[in-house]
């Protein structure tokens, strides 16, 4: 109990974000035809999630996040960043060290959803 067990990514064009997250992280997405909105279930190596149709306008960029932001652990930060950019993502906050823990950074998908990636590295400084 009281653990993160599911996440949601909202989008004005859910299929575009499905393609993005599949290309970047290899997540499997399945359209749920029984859902009352366009919704794709996501399978990751960790918790399950969904990409769903955004019911309001996309928030503007260059604002603080008004959401609960998730970070995905990757094996190679620099390689993951290149894949994110190649697939249409944008840097929201450059790579930085969490000293003695990891390399962290934040990105935007095409619908301005913020997500982080991190690479564990005890030598980060």
Output the pTM of the full model.
0.90
User: From CA 19, how far away is CA 9, in angstroms rounded?
Assistant: 13
The DSSP output letter for 86 is H
Q: What is the pLDDT of residue 30?
A: 98
Evaluate if residue 89 carries a pLDDT over 90. Answer: yes
Evaluate if residue 64 carries a pLDDT over 80. Answer: no
Sign (positive or negative) of CA dihedral 26, 31, 32, 38: positive
User: From CA 1, how far away is CA 22, in angstroms rounded?
Assistant: 29
Evaluate if residue 93 carries a pLDDT over 90. Answer: yes
User: From CA 77, how far away is CA 96, in angstroms rounded?
Assistant: 11
Closest CA to 9 of 40, 35, 34: 40
């Amino acid at each position: 109990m009281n653990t993160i067990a599911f996440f949601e990514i909202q989008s004005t064009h859910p299929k575009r974000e499905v393609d993005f997250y599949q290309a970047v992280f290899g997540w499997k997405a399945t359209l749920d035809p029984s859902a009352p909105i366009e919704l794709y279930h996501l399978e990751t190596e960790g918790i399950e999630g969904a990409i769903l149709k955004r019911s309001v306008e996309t928030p503007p960029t260059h604002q603080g996040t008004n959401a609960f932001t998730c970070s995905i652990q990757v094996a190679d930060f620099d390689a993951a960043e290149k894949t994110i950019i190649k697939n249409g993502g944008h840097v929201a906050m450059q790579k930085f060290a969490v000293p003695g823990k990891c390399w962290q950074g934040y990105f935007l998908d095409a619908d301005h959803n913020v997500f982080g990636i991190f690479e564990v590295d005890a030598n980060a400084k």
